[in-house]
Amino acid sequence: MNDFQCLELVNMENVAIIKFKDEKMTDPARIEQLGLELLALADGESQPNLEINFDNVRFFSSAAMNKLIVLEKRIRSRGGSLRLSNLRPEVRDLFGYTKLDSIFQIEESQPESH
Amino acid sequence: MNTRRSWKSNNISVLSAGIKFLEESANVWVFSENIASSVENCDAFITKLVDQLDELGWQGRDEFGIRMAMEEAIMNAIEHGNQNDPNKKVAIFVRLTPLQFLAKVTDEGEGFDPLKVPDPTLEENLSQPSGRGVMLIKQYVDVARYNAIGNKVELSKTNTSTQSNLNGDHA
């Protein structure tokens, strides 16, 4: 229904579950587009509740994280919620190192397989 | 008889040293180029780097860390150092072995003082949508050292999985 270039809508019920189409988010133009699409999604609901499923994200840059920070602020200002799920261990580390796991709700996935 | 045994032993020793040298040179990737300031060039370099990391046995968090540090260092050089000017170059040098990663990234900009970049992990800065690149570079490698004017960063990192194999550790 929505013509997103960077996002894939998986579910649109109580919580909109979205995935990133790109395995790596590093190209500034794609990241800019991603930011616009995330905000459009948040602004499309009176009280946006989003879950971003990271299961196909292998690499995430600081510029892409910045877009999530802007999104989190927007959603919070509108009384909604944002959850991040299915992060690979390396990507989860990124949120820990930056201490952004204190502002994002992160669904912890199963322990790393050995 | 003793002389003969000694001669043979010496030749084996020389041969072993030769094999060792050949093995080492086959397991070293050296990259040294000046790339024009563009995202496409950065991507092309990162693709080569990731191929070599895989080839030389870097994986998981170590591989992710080098990729993160190099991507952030090169994008900082392109965007902040060279101001996205395609006529300005980013000099990239990498020496990669199964055990050790060394790199230098130099831009043509005026540089900056990394000590003056606000700590993005402080509570008051957490919601700032910028300023994490330098912190991430330092986080993901063992050593990140800027030159005096701040237009060149040298990075190094040891492969923890190879290191633990050498130490006889078992995960």
- Please, which pLDDT band fits residue B168 given cuts at 50, 70 and 90? low
Residues 36-55 of A with CB under 8 A from B: none
Mean pLDDT, residues B112-127 taken together: 93
- Percent of chain B past pLDDT 70, that is, above it, reads 80
Mean pLDDT, residues B100-118 taken together: 96
Mean pLDDT, residues B132-158 taken together: 96
Mean pLDDT, residues B120-148 taken together: 93
Instruction: Report chain B residues whose CB lies below 8 A from the CB of A99.
Output: 121, 126
Residue A12, pLDDT > 80, answer: no
- Please, which pLDDT band fits residue B128 given cuts at 50, 70 and 90? confident
Note the pTM of the prediction, 2 decimals: 0.81
- Closest partner residue to B129 (CB to CB) among A26, A69, A114 is A69
Burial class of residue A113 in the structure, from the number of CB atoms within 10 Å of its CB (0-12 exposed, 13-18 middle, 19+ buried)? exposed
CB B135 within 8 A of CB B119: yes
**Alpha-carbon distance A17 to B84, whole Å?**
35
Instruction: Report chain A residues whose CB lies below 8 A from the CB of B127.
Output: 69, 72-73, 103
Mean pLDDT, residues B138-152 taken together: 97
Residue from A13, A21, A102 nearest A51 by CA:
A13
More confident residue, B159 or B22: B159
- Please, which pLDDT band fits residue A112 given cuts at 50, 70 and 90? low
- Please, which pLDDT band fits residue A46 given cuts at 50, 70 and 90? confident
Instruction: Report chain B residues whose CB lies below 8 A from the CB of A72.
Output: 127
Q: What's the one-letter identity of residue B13?
A: S
Kindly determine whether residue B127 and residue A103, on different chains, have CB atoms separated by under 8 Å.
yes
**Alpha-carbon distance A75 to A77, whole Å?**
5
DSSP state of A102: G
Tell me the count of A-B CB pairs closer than 8 A.
61
CB A52 within 8 A of CB A82: yes
Specify the length of chain B in residues. Answer: 171
Kindly determine whether residue B129 and residue A29, on different chains, have CB atoms separated by under 8 Å.
no
Residue B121, pLDDT > 90, answer: yes
Q: How far is B147 from chain A (nearest CA, A)?
A: 23
Within 10 A of B123 (CB to CB), how many other CB atoms are there? 9
Check if the interface score ipTM surpasses 0.85.
Answer: no
CB-based contact, A106 to chain B, within 8 Å: no
Residue B9, pLDDT > 60, answer: no
**Alpha-carbon distance B79 to B57, whole Å?**
31
